[in-house]
Amino acid sequence: MILDAKQTTVAYRCPNCGSSVLSAVGLFSLTGSADMVKLKCTCGKSEMTVVYGKDGKLRLTVPCLACAKPHSFTVSSQVFFSKDLFVLPCPYTDLNIAATGEINQVKAEMARSELELLDLLEKSGIRDPERLRAEAQALPDPQIAEIVMFVIRDLDAEGKIYCKCNPESASPDASPAEEGSYDVEMRDDGILVRCTKCGASRLIPTDSGLSAHAFLNADALHLE
């Protein structure tokens, strides 16, 4: 018996409890006994629906963290099942409220959007340390490390990693670290970035979401 291999991972964040709701959705399940799949949060206060239409398009209804009502999206089956990562943003806040694609990329995006939300709340003057701590601790460690690595790669691409070989303030024409001139080592308590020339290093903690949230706002990485 051969089943349709088309399958993707779908995830959204519950606006009631803040948890990530994640599930695999296959074309076979949408065209088999039913044309609708529901993703329900364990808190029972929200659900996302995926409906397969006769025109071959999928219609998604996604709960929103910022809006009182869910948003509706129409996506082609090719995009829905073929993209490694496809995000669905709130049309009013531009926050990504759902994602589909390869499971690890979807998990990483949900973690990234979580940190983006925390950053937005903080910039808006909403400061609740207990809530921030609870939200941050809900992120699995591998996802936190993924976000930190994403920021490190961005800083490297922008030439914003500095060390003793090329301190930012050494001279007006000081150059940033050359590509590939430092090592990145994954540790239990964080990610160690070390210059292969002068030995300067820095450990970025990944043992809590709050640490990753702080590093997300870094505009440079200084190795000491």
User: Do 29 and 83 belong to one domain?
Assistant: yes
| The pair of three-digit structure tokens given for residue 38, joined into one six-digit string | 């529901």
For residue 64, pLDDT over 90 is answered with no
- 124: exposed, middle or buried (Cβ count in 10 Å: 0-12, 13-18, 19+): exposed
Quote the mean pLDDT of the chain: 76
Quote the pLDDT of residue 142: 56
User: Do 14 and 87 belong to one domain?
Assistant: yes
For residue 123, pLDDT over 80 is answered with no
Quote the pLDDT of residue 129: 42
Residues 111, 135: Cα–Cα separation, whole Å: 11
User: Do 97 and 19 belong to one domain?
Assistant: yes
Quote the pLDDT of residue 132: 44
How is residue 111 annotated by DSSP?
Answer: H
Residue 160: domain span = 139-222
For residue 178, pLDDT over 50 is answered with no
175 within 8 A of 158, measured Cβ to Cβ: no
User: Do 100 and 146 belong to one domain?
Assistant: no
User: Do 179 and 216 belong to one domain?
Assistant: yes
Mean pLDDT of 144-150: 75
User: Do 211 and 172 belong to one domain?
Assistant: yes
Higher pLDDT, 129 or 127: 127
User: Do 94 and 163 belong to one domain?
Assistant: no
Domain assignment present for residue 121? The answer is: no
How many domains does the structure of the chain reveal? Answer: 2
User: Do 20 and 91 belong to one domain?
Assistant: yes
Instruction: Give the strand pairing for 161-162 and 221-222.
Output: parallel
User: Do 14 and 83 belong to one domain?
Assistant: yes
Domain assignment present for residue 118? The answer is: no
User: Do 45 and 81 belong to one domain?
Assistant: yes
Domain assignment present for residue 126? The answer is: no
Q: List the single range of 94-103, 158-167, 205-214 with lowest mean pLDDT.
A: 205-214
For residue 177, pLDDT over 50 is answered with no
Mean pLDDT of 135-161: 69
For residue 124, pLDDT over 60 is answered with no
Model-wide pTM > 0.75: no
User: Do 70 and 143 belong to one domain?
Assistant: no
For residue 153, pLDDT over 90 is answered with no
102 within 8 A of 110, measured Cβ to Cβ: no
User: Do 66 and 146 belong to one domain?
Assistant: no
Edge-to-edge strand ranges of the sheet holding 47-52: 36-40, 47-52, 57-62, 71-76
Quote the pLDDT of residue 170: 43
Domain assignment present for residue 64? The answer is: yes
Domain assignment present for residue 133? The answer is: no
Quote the pLDDT of residue 60: 92
Residues 79, 82: Cα–Cα separation, whole Å: 5
